[in-house]
Structure 1
Amino acid sequence: MAINFSPGNILRLTARLLQFVLALTVCGLYGTDLDAAHKAHVYADSKWVYAVTVAGLSAISSIVLALSSFKTWFFSWWDGVLFILWVAVFGTFGKIYLKADTQGSKGVTRMKHAVWVDMVNMVLWFLTACYGAWAFWKAGRKSKAWKSEAEV
């Protein structure tokens, strides 16, 4: 199997790698609080569970999407779904932590940084959703043009 080193393929793989790394980063940032809650025998806040779930879905999806070599509408659609899920994560934690005063708290500082990682995740999934939709549309247009020429 030959590897295609076209600029588009390199860009796609780079975006997927960034999505994977940043999803794992979010798992670590929010997982710290989930672990602390577990050790203290208190309930895990649903906001943190949601963030780690979205990050986990993103990590798995980025690997699957990086390894797939064909274009389907589903992949672009799934990128869009993950973008919307990241919008919710960014909005939820942005509202809580962006204007919060750290007052020397390392936990609040860590969460302020996590919000920016959430935003970058959100932007990356938006860009890959747009690129996927464009690539699928372009491939479909080529296919239709080819069919119409063959019918003549």
Structure 2
Amino acid sequence: MSFILVKLLKIGVNEAKKRHKTKKEEQKFQAAAAAGFSQYNNDQYPMSAYPTGAVPGTTMHFESAPEPMSKRAKLSFMFISALRFLQFVFGLTVIGLYGKDEHHDHSEKHIWRSQWVYALVTGFLATATAGVHLVMPFLMRRVKNASGPNVALLLPQFGWEFVVTVLWLALFGVFGKLYIGVYAVESSGSGSGSGKRDEAVTSTAPSSLGDASKITRMRHAVWIDVINLVFWVITSSWVLMRWLKSRRAAATEDVVDDAEKGNKF
């Protein structure tokens, strides 16, 4: 009888030890899980992100992390950035081409011709605008919580780019009328050369268009004007499409909000 009691007592003690050990392991696991969750929260929302004066029980809202840019958006950004760079370079080219002749005429005759002044103003405005668009993305990255360009500025931006596009179109019309079809020759011999070139040269007074080097340079400048016109048509169309897309998105959000409000009532 005593042997059976001793046996039962040993079994009870062993069971109690097992339960105590299991309970300790569960407490350790819960403590480790709580510590890991606290560390995760501290990493996600550091103490510096909490507002000053926050006390336990205060309801706080944290902004979600911005969504990563899609592959299509990255390609579009790279394409437009390349166009802006080309606009900047070709704008400087126009300033150099027309500025050389304007400087020479001003130093020799002390006059400013309106066509060349208009070309310089157009080139300067286009170059400055392209430079701002090149620098702006890097400045936006340095601004805290800057998720992207303001949608409200898309329409004014399109208006300005449309004005620049019209300036390029007018510049091409002015100098295209003067220099397209005019070819520079070193000698004015009437017996050699093609009929088209001789007719083009002799039909225009050389004194009004300049010497052979100037005519050649201005003919090249006209095609540079065309390239600039194409660049600005593309970027202004892109800004217009972004504005229309933002309007459609805003209209869709308004419809969804109205529907949600209707369901609540």
Q: TM-score, with normalisation over the residues of structure 1?
A: 0.91
SS in 1 for 2:104: helix
The CA distance in 2 between the partners of 1:90 and 1:147, in whole Å, is 44
Paired position in structure 2 for 1:106: 213
The CA distance in 2 between the partners of 1:86 and 1:65, in whole Å, is 18
* Structure number, greater radius of gyration: 2
Deviation per residue, 1:50-106 (Å, 9 max, x gap):
001000000111122332652411111111111101011000000101111211412
Paired position in structure 2 for 1:95: 177
Q: CA shift at 1:34, angstroms?
A: 1.0
Deviation per residue, 1:17-66 (Å, 9 max, x gap):
11111100000000000110122142021100000100000011112233
1:77 to 159, 165, 173: 159
Paired position in structure 2 for 1:131: 238
What is the RMSD of the two structures over their aligned residues, measured on CA atoms?
1.5
Matched, 1:146 2:253: yes
SS in 1 for 2:184: coil
Q: CA shift at 1:149, angstroms?
A: 1.1
Q: CA shift at 1:127, angstroms?
A: 1.2
Paired position in structure 1 for 2:192: none
The CA distance in 2 between the partners of 1:98 and 1:41, in whole Å, is 26
The CA distance in 2 between the partners of 1:127 and 1:13, in whole Å, is 12
Paired position in structure 2 for 1:18: 86
The CA distance in 2 between the partners of 1:11 and 1:139, in whole Å, is 20
Paired position in structure 1 for 2:62: none
Paired position in structure 1 for 2:119: 51
The CA distance in 2 between the partners of 1:100 and 1:44, in whole Å, is 23
Q: How many percent identity over aligned positions?
A: 31
Q: TM-score, with normalisation over the residues of structure 2?
A: 0.54
The CA distance in 2 between the partners of 1:40 and 1:10, in whole Å, is 45
Q: CA shift at 1:134, angstroms?
A: 0.7
Q: Which amino acid aligns with 1:48?
A: W
Matched residue pairs, number? 149
Answer yes or no: is the 8 Å Cα contact 1:65–1:75 preserved in 2: no
Q: CA shift at 1:126, angstroms?
A: 1.1
Query: Any stretches of 5+ residues in structure 1 without a counterpart?
Result: none
The CA distance in 2 between the partners of 1:65 and 1:151, in whole Å, is 37
Structure 1 segments (4+ residues) deviating >6 Å: none
